[in-house]
Amino acid sequence: MIDESSTPGRETLFTSPYAAASAALGGVMFLTGFAALAVVPMLPLAARDLHGVGLYPLVAGCFVAASLLGGVLGGDWADRKGAWQPLGFGVVLGVLTLVVSGTSGSIWQLAAGRFLDGVAGGVIAVAVNAAVGQLFPARLQPRALALMSSCWIVPSLVGPPLAGLVSGWWSWRVVFLGLAVLSAVPAVVVVAILRRRERTVQSPPTPRTRPALPSALVVSLGAAAVQYGVTGWDATHLPWTLVGGALLLGFASRLLPGGTVRAVRGLPASVLLRGLASGTYFTLEAFVPLLLDTARRTPGVVVGLSFTGAAVAWAGASWVQGRLPERVRRERLVALGALVLVGAVAMGEVATVRAVPAWTAGIAMVVAALGMGVLAPSLTVLSLCHSPADRQGAAGSAMQTAQNLGQTVVLALASAAFAVQAGTLGGFRVALGILLIPALAVAILAGRASGASANEATKGVGRTAVGAA
């Protein structure tokens, strides 16, 4: 990390020496946001067209499971070589995955495309956070994270509505393949900028421990198995659930700081809260489009606008938290965001009543994004505060791992409940009701995300998230 004492207070993200890094990171997030916000609303349509609505949770879960593997890969890579190489890799792989998904002949190929996209997304997410920690002083980190969120605003305004129109005129396949073509040239430009930046930045010290890639691969496969298993309650699906659950229980702890499950004050608690909050939000994001498209039969443009509103709300809330005075305690912002998330889940529950307008579910996504826009960057800042400069890739990897484990577990529980009454309003009502538990837990435990010193907080990360094999 740059020594804060050497930077005048008047410097911003776009003054020397931060301007080039801000532009490159912003470009990465713009491409990532545009692809994600146009693609995700199309997944229910693709699943229905490929006769795989029952396996829709698997499609959503494959991305989550693979993001875990990508997060560990990106964290170790960023600690060894700096953040720029994994960023370039993630951008290129993201374009290629659009082709894989767009040419899907079955729900299984679509799931494979989402798995590869998850690897790319995990690498990018961790590498971006590591770059923020390595290149910006503490006073600019909240603003840098807010910039990353704001780069999703234009994609959120253009991507979902345009994708809805294109899928209506032609096909969801045109959305995937068109994005691959449109993203190819900007991706090359961003990679060139990243390579140039790489030559001007000294890489952080190489850790002496080995990465946890084998454990991450096992956990990713376990997560994917669980997501497939919970799509049914018969003899075919149950073994997948049991095997996947056993893999998660046996290997997931190797990727997390010691004391994560017990919410030990400092980095372990920050990691746990990231998992619970992400599990709540992204499960809501997975079920709301399916609710609107199937049980409520709303036009695709409504789903697209819901994603647009959510992205704008997240970016706006993130912008606000980035400009709050330093005396505002980050753990209090986490608690506030969690309470907003609880309210959003309650709105989603109400939307399962047929007498309530269907667009209430879309509003729930927007409200949830407001909470996450305050909560998520605050947890990231806390994790960076708890980590020394040469271990921020490992800490970011632990945060990404917890995020994806949280999504896997919460989505699996909600999917298992949904499978009992799949496609009915009752099924959605039970699935969304489960989300109240992790959201309330984040609000209650938020205070434990502060307190531990960097050395204390990263003992577990050094032993598990990077050192385990």
Could you list the pLDDT tens digit for every one of the 469 residues in the chain?
Answer: 444 444 445 667 777 777 777 777 777 788 777 777 778 778 877 888 888 776 776 777 677 778 778 878 887 777 777 777 787 888 888 888 889 888 888 888 988 888 888 888 888 888 887 777 777 777 777 778 777 777 777 777 777 777 777 777 788 888 888 888 877 777 777 677 666 655 555 444 444 444 567 888 888 888 778 877 776 677 777 888 888 888 888 888 888 888 888 888 888 899 999 999 999 998 998 888 888 877 777 776 677 778 778 878 888 888 888 777 777 788 899 999 999 999 999 999 898 888 888 888 889 999 999 999 999 889 988 887 776 655 656 677 788 788 878 888 898 888 778 877 766 777 888 889 999 999 999 999 998 888 544 444 334 443 333 332 2
C-alpha–C-alpha distance, residues 11 and 401, integer Å: 33
What is the Cα–Cα distance from 148 to 133, expressed in whole angstroms?
13
The structural domains of the chain, with segments of one domain joined by +, span 13-465
Distance CA 75, CA 390 (A): 11
Q: What is the pLDDT of residue 195?
A: 66
Distance CA 388, CA 459 (A): 11
pLDDT of residue 193: 66
How far is residue 297 from each of residues 55, 168, 423, measured CA to CA in Å? 19, 14, 11
pTM for the full predicted model:
0.68
Characterize 429-463 residue by residue with b for buried, 16 or more Cβ atoms within 10 angstroms of its Cβ, and e for exposed: bbbbbbbbebbbbbbebbbbbbebebebbbbbbbe
Cβ neighbors of 280 (< 8 A, separation 6 or more) are 341, 345, 368, 406, 410, 435, 438, 439, 442
Q: Which residues contact 108 (CB under 8 A, 6 or more apart)?
A: none
CA pair distance 24, 28, nearest whole angstrom: 6
CA-wise closest residue to 416 among 283, 288, 296: 283
Say if residue 76 is exposed, middle or buried (CB neighbours under 10 Å; 0-12, 13-18, 19+): buried
Other CB atoms within 10 A of residue 65 CB: 30
For the domain spanning 13-465, the CATH number is 1.20.1250.20
Q: At what angle do helices 267-290 and 300-322 cross, to 10 degrees?
A: 160
**Spatial separation of the C-alpha atoms in residues 295 and 426, rounded to whole Å:** 10
What pLDDT score was predicted for residue 50?
A: 84
